[in-house]
Amino acid sequence: MENSAVYNETTEPQVKAPRRPLGCTARRLRGWRLPLKALQAILSLVAVVCEEIVEVCIKCEGLYFFEFTSFSAFLLSLLILGVYCTQVYETLGEDKVQKVNFWAVLAIGVFFLLASIVLAATISGTAVEKSASVFGFLASGAFLAEFIVEYFHNRKQNVSGRPENPANTQSATENQPLNKQS
């Protein structure tokens, strides 16, 4: 007796999901989100590069604070972009990723704006320092713009999703007992 006659395949082989290059997809960043996330990373990187080109500084504390902030913003923007584009998004869940992105973008934008103001106040006047400051302001504007758009988008969803009975009046049928005794 042959084994092949007894042991036939009873199930169809499982179809594997198509592999994406490096496991990356941009489907979660539709519309304005992908260009804005890319712009945040690019502006942060240009600010870091401009800051690194500075050869001589008179008041270096502002430059050091800007260096730390701009490099941190660049890394965090890449991290957030990576979370949106990989399987980590499903692992963490959409709500958590959206919430972390919302508050992280606000924090990055505020710190980047503060660092740009400090750098602009302490620069010695070289063109490279001025350009680093300008790119810092542009990057902080990109981060804060995303926060503002997301804030109004979330607010619009909350208003449109509000129940018809916000005062929770007792006359509403949903507040009546299920087994009403007469």
Residue 162 φ/ψ, nearest 5 degrees: -70, 140
Counting residues of the chain whose pLDDT is more than 70, the rounded percentage is 76
Task: Check residue 141 and give its pLDDT.
Answer: 96
Task: Check residue 164 and give its pLDDT.
Answer: 53
Over residues 82-101, the mean pLDDT reads 89
Exposed/middle/buried for residue 129 (C-beta within 10 Å: 0-12, 13-18, 19+): buried
Over residues 142-154, the mean pLDDT reads 93
Helix/strand/coil (H/E/C) assignment for every residue in 141-171: HHHHHHHHHHHHHHHHHHHHCCCCCCCCCCC
Task: Check residue 9 and give its pLDDT.
Answer: 64
Task: Check residue 156 and give its pLDDT.
Answer: 86
Q: How far apart are CA 141 and CA 118, in angstroms?
A: 16
If we measure between CA atoms, which residue out of 108, 118, 168 comes closest to residue 140? 108
pTM of the model: 0.73
Over residues 26-38, the mean pLDDT reads 84
Task: Check residue 56 and give its pLDDT.
Answer: 85
Q: Ramachandran region of residue 22, left (φ > 0), alpha (ψ -120 to 50) or beta?
A: left
Q: Which residue has the tokens 């320092």?
A: 129
